[in-house]
Each structure stands twice: as C-alpha cells, then as structure tokens.
C-alpha cells in the first residue's frame, strides 16, 4: 500500500490531504466501519481454521483413528463453513450500507455545493461533465469502501494468520513460498500508475460524451442539429470519443487480466514447491502427511490474499482518482456568500438603489475547472469592467426601465439585484440595505424575476408554479393562472395542473411559457419585480397577452424593466439609457424624446424600421 502512494503519476491523488478528506466523509459511518472490520477479521480467521482441521483429518486417517473422531472434525469443518457463509452475508450488508451511505453523502455534498456556485460557473461548465461528477465519479469513490475496504481488511487478517500457521507447521516450506513474493510486488508497482491514468482518461471521455448527449438530446439541441443537417458529423464525433473509451477499456481489461493471470501462475508454481518439498519431508519422516495437506491448503489462503491485495492497490488508485475529481468540484469557492448576521429586507414597500456600481465578470480560474470545460488550462485574465459607476434609484412602487443597445449592460445591472453576482465597487440596496447584508431567504422572498427565455422544468404545471410558493393550494394556483391570462388554456388540458410541460416548456408556445412564468411570479407575490426582455421574440398576439399579464405583475410593486422594444416602457416613471456600461441618459419618455439624444434616435429608428404605430406600453395598475 505504501507504494501506491508513490506510484508514477504526476498528479498523485493518493495524498495525505485526500485521505484526511475521505476520513471526514467516513466519520459518520465509524460504528458501521468498526463492526464491518470485526466481522471481516472473524471471517478471515475462520478461513484459516479449515486447512488446519483438514490436515488433522488426514493425520487421523493415516493413524487409523476412530471414525467418531474423524466425523467430529468433519462436522466442525461444516460448522465453520456455515459460520463463514453467514458472516460473509452480514459483512456484505455492512459494506453495502456503508458504501451506499457514502454515495448519499458525496452526492448531497456536491449537489448542495454546486447550487451555491455563481452563475458564471454554469455559463462555462459543460453540463454532462458536471453530471458525470455526481454519478460516475461518486460511484467510483464509493467502491473504495463497499468493495476494496472489505477485501483489504479480510485479506490482511487472512495473510497474517496464514503466515503464522504455516510457520508453525514448517518454516522451511514457508520460506520457499515467500521467495516468490517479489513476483507480486514488482507488477503491482508498475501497473498501478498506468491503470490510474487510464481510469482518469476514460472518466474524462465519458464526461465529454455525457455532455454531448445532454446538449444534443435536449429539444433545442435536437432542433439545431436537424436544421443544420449535421447528424452524420455529430455521430462521427461522438463515435471517436466512444472508440477511445472502448480502446481504454480493452487495454485496462488486458492489463488487469495479464496481471491476475501472472499472479495465479505464481501461486500454482508455489503449490508445486509445497507438494514437492513437503512430500520429500514427509517421506523422510520429518513432517506429517496431514501437515503437507494443510500447508498446501494454507498456501491458497496465502497467495489468494496477496493476489487480491495487489489488485486492491489498483482498485484503490482508481477509486482515489474518483475522489480527487469529486473533491475538485467541492474545492471551488462560492463567490456569493451570506454574511454572518444577515438581516431581512425591511417590511413594507421596497426601494431599489444603485450607488456608484462598477462590475467586471470574474476570470475563469475563479469560477470554473478546466476539466469541466474540456480545455487544458483556464484563462487567468481578469474580465473587462462592464459597468461603470452606475447610479439610480427607484422609489417604492415606481417602475424604472433600462433601454439601450444589445450588450450595453442592462441584464448585468438586473443580475446584481438578486445577487447572481456582487458589485466590485459601490452598493446595490433594497429598502436602503446593501443586498450583501441581506439574508438569501429574504432576498428570494422580496424579488421576482421574469427572464427572456421563460425557463420551465420538465415537470407538471403545478410543480413549476410551486417553485415560487411550495405551500400554495389549488385555488391560489388557479388564481395566479387567471391573472396571467392562462386559466382557460390550462383548464382545457386533459390533465389540467398535472400536465407535463416538457423540457424547458417546449410543449407550450413562447407566449404561453412566458405567461406561465408570470403566473409563477404572481404566486410568489414579490415586492420587487425584474422583467428582463419579457416580451422579446413574441408575435404581436402573444405579446398583447403577455403585456396584460405583466400589468397584473407590476401592480403596486417596485419594478426594474429591461426592454428592447421602447414602446413597452413609455409609462415607466424613469427610463435609463445604458450604453457601454454607463447611464448615458435618464428621464421620462417625454423628457428623453424632447432632449433629442440617444433615446430619441433609438425610438424613431425602431418605428421607422417597423413601419407600425407605437404599441401600447406596459401600464401597471396603480
């Protein structure tokens, strides 16, 4: 096992730090582990007793002992076999319980930790690679406890007791048997690092294939592939990865099989030595015939544990690679943390204030892993500053609209309110309190967001609505749907609220998806609403329905509205024109038109291009 630590592997996952972290995960299972070790040791001791009893039976037969003595020895061997079987089942139950418990702990830890990571992590990470950490790598790590640990404990005890018994019977034969021991150690040292590297490469390729399948088999991904007519190329690229995994699998299997075959051959040669030397000593009268039989049987108990321990070294290396990959994710530091003593948003209507806010997106090395992006190294350069000293205030109940060119920084401003990111300079305040001093729960209760894509989970209408308010009853759900102008549609569905919306809500139209997200917002009853391009990409009919629903959503609430269509924000109390991460102009619709600046140019250009009359703006009910 010591040589496993120093296997020729440049990354050396088997380190003291890794073992300490594994120990922390194993600590809650320490009682089960203790019982497991005792049972494994007892089972191993019983395994050594059988050859000794078999030798005594041979001696009894040679000495023409009474039949009753022989039968009693045979019955004892049978009782030991039954005890071994029972203890083996119990040992396996403990190992399975410990292993599955570890899977639960690891998966829960990774899942909880990933949820605390910043949005930038998810925008850079390949989904399939991340899911692979939660599935394949966690199960790989679990093998170290459920399979390898049981083998190591039992085999070590068996090895010690077997050596002691063999030395008591014949030190000469035992010494000759041990001369072949280097043939076990040398292959184990050579193969451990190679197999660990192959295991890591296979895990990387499996993660890449998982990512490709996750992306291509989603509704949007499948449509994109079909539209561009690349199914053959997609299959070819996937096949290259799959072939590499196959090649690694074949190579790993052959290395392991060759290794185990060589060790089995060595064991057979050692058995031949025992019979040869033991037979000579028995004929010369220096050793009993029963002792020769016992030594031969004990030898199988000696080399079998050695063979399995050598294999366990390989299994340990593979499991530790999985532990390393899991810990790699757990080591990513969440950038958004709740401060000690965080407070709730003050009661009553809430104001929104940006005070000299500047912001740059974090560099890749702070939020991501190269292995999850499938690149050799992360970009260490800091991001460019995208917001420059942004300041404005929305009084309680007011609507502030952000308009401007694409990429000007409007959505970035909105993302700072719910703390998807934190400002680098300045402060973002809700109700006069810096959002960094607010509790996460209070922030979630206060803010409601409707995004451009209207994201829904592949679940029922009911489940998607209950995300906003888990304790809502059916009457409240139907009320939210009615106010979102979606009651009739959902009522007409065969399963009503229990209708599955499909992945990302693709079983509904764009306008229906948006109204369902608005219903979710209405159910949450937030005091501050953020609308990020909520009517983008909708046809005029859908937009009109969504606009009616939005008017309900904005009633009596403080709102930050991002709109590409300037006609939808004419009734806003304050319009901010954002350009290059700065507020270039501010005022009401009439004031900005009269000023003849950037807003006036954008407004006239939009309607000159569309050739349409100005559509009705969003007018919240006061």
Q: Across residues 174-189, what is the average pLDDT?
A: 68
Is pLDDT at 13 greater than 50 in this prediction? no
> Which comes out higher in pLDDT, residue 15 or 59?
59
Q: Identify the top-confidence range among 96-100, 362-366, 462-466, 610-614.
A: 462-466
The tokens describing 502, both together, are: 């499909």
pLDDT for 351: 92
- Lowest-confidence segment of 371-385, 409-423, 433-447 by average pLDDT: 371-385
Confidence class for position 51, pLDDT limits 50, 70, 90: confident
445, 526 contact by CB (below 8 A)? yes
Alpha carbons 425 and 238: distance in angstroms, whole number: 45
401, 569 contact by CB (below 8 A)? yes
Is pLDDT at 464 greater than 70 in this prediction? yes
Q: Identify the top-confidence range among 101-115, 268-282, 337-351, 449-463.
A: 337-351
**Residue 216 Cα to chain centre, angstroms:** 20
Q: Across residues 458-480, what is the average pLDDT?
A: 88
Overall pTM surpassing 0.75 (yes/no): no
Is pLDDT at 441 greater than 60 in this prediction? yes
Is pLDDT at 295 greater than 60 in this prediction? yes
Alpha carbons 433 and 435: distance in angstroms, whole number: 6
pLDDT for 313: 66
Confidence class for position 8, pLDDT limits 50, 70, 90: very low
pLDDT tens for 191-216 read: 666 776 777 778 777 777 777 777 67
Confidence class for position 614, pLDDT limits 50, 70, 90: very low
> Which comes out higher in pLDDT, residue 9 or 316?
316
pLDDT tens for 478-523 read: 988 888 888 888 898 888 888 888 777 777 877 788 888 888 888 8
Is pLDDT at 427 greater than 80 in this prediction? yes
Q: Identify the top-confidence range among 141-155, 169-183, 280-294.
A: 280-294
pLDDT for 186: 62
pLDDT tens for 218-257 read: 656 666 666 666 677 777 877 888 888 888 888 888 877 7
- Domains within the chain, CATH numbers bracketed: 14-330 (1.20.1560.10), 352-610 (3.40.50.300)
Q: Across residues 569-595, what is the average pLDDT?
A: 89
Mean pLDDT of the chain: 79
Cβ-Cβ contacts under 8 Å for 462 (sequence gap 6 or more): 477, 497, 498
The tokens describing 189, both together, are: 């040292």
Q: Across residues 295-311, what is the average pLDDT?
A: 74
Confidence class for position 169, pLDDT limits 50, 70, 90: confident
Cβ-Cβ contacts under 8 Å for 280 (sequence gap 6 or more): none
Q: What is the dihedral of CA 8, 10, 13, 19, to 10 degrees?
A: 80
Confidence class for position 622, pLDDT limits 50, 70, 90: very low
Cα dist from 268 to 22, 199, 597, whole Å: 38, 30, 92
Is pLDDT at 149 greater than 80 in this prediction? no
């Amino acid at each position: 096992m010591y040589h496993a630590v120093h296997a020729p592997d440049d990354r050396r996952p088997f380190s003291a730090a890794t073992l300490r972290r594994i120990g922390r995960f194993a600590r809650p299972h320490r009682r089960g582990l203790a019982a497991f070790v005792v049972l494994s040791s007892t089972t191993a001791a019983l395994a050594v007793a059988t050859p000794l009893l078999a030798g005594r039976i041979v001696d009894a037969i040679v000495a023409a002992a009474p039949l009753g003595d022989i039968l009693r020895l045979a019955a004892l061997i049978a009782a030991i076999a039954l005890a071994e079987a029972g203890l083996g089942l119990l040992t396996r139950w403990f190992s399975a319980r410990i292993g599955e418990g570890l899977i639960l702990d690891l998966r829960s830890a990774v899942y909880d930790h990933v949820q605390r990571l910043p949005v930038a992590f998810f925008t850079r990470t390949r989904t399939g690679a991340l899911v692979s950490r939660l599935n394949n790598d966690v199960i790989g790590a679990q093998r170290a406890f459920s399979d390898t640990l049981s083998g190591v404990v039992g085999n070590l005890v068996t090895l010690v007791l077997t050596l002691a018994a063999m030395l008591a019977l014949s030190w000469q034969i035992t010494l000759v048997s041990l001369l072949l021991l280097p043939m076990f150690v040398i292959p184990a040292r050579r193969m451990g690092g190679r197999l660990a590297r192959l295991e890591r490469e296979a895990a990387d390729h499996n993660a890449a294939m998982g990512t490709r399948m996750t992306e291509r088999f989603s509704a949007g991904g499948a449509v994109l592939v079909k539209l561009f007519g690349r199914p053959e190329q997609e299959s070819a690229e996937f096949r290259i990865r799959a072939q590499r995994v196959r090649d690694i699998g074949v190579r790993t299997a052959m290395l392991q099989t060759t290794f185990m075959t060589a060790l089995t051959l060595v064991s057979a040669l050692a058995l031949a030595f025992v019979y040869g030397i033991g037979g000579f000593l028995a004929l010369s009268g220096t050793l009993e015939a029963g002792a020769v039989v016992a030594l031969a049987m004990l030898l199988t108990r000696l080399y079998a544990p050695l063979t399995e321990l050598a294999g366990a070294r390989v299994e340990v290396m593979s499991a530790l690679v999985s532990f390393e990959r899991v810990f790699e994710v757990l080591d990513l530091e969440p950038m958004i943390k709740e401060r000690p003593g965080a407070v709730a948003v003050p009661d009553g209507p809430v104001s929104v204030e940006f005070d000299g806010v500047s912001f740059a997106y974090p560099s890749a090395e702070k939020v991501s892993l190269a292995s999850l992006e499938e690149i050799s190294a992360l970009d260490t350069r800091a991001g460019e500053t995208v917001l420059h000293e942004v300041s404005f205030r929305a009084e309680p109940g007011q609507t502030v609209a952000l308009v401007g060119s694409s990429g000007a920084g409007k959505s970035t401003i909105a993302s700072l309110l719910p703390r998807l990111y934190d400002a680098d300079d300045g402060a973002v305040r809700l109700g006069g309190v810096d959002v960094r001093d607010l509790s996460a729960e209070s922030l979630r209760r206060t803010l409601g967001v409707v995004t451009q894509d209207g994201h829904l989970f592949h679940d029922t209408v009911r489940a998607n609505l209950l995300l906003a308010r888990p304790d809502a009853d059916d009457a409240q759900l139907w009320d939210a749907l009615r106010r979102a102008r979606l009651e009739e549609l959902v009522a007409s569905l065969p399963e009503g609220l229990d209708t599955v919306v499909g992945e990302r809500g693709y079983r509904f139209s764009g306008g229906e998806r948006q109204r369902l997200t608005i219903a979710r917002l209405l159910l949450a009853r937030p005091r501050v609403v953020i609308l990020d391009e909520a009517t983008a990409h909708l046809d005029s009919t859908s937009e009109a329905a969504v606009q009616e629903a939005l008017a309900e959503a904005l009633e009596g609430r403080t709102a930050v509205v991002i709109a590409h269509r300037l006609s939808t924000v004419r009734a806003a109390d304050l319009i901010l024109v954002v350009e290059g991460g700065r507020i270039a102009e501010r005022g009401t619709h009439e004031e900005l038109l009269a000023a003849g600046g950037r807003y006036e140019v954008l407004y006239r250009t939009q309607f000159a291009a569309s050739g349409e009359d100005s559509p009705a703006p969003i007018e919240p009910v006061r």
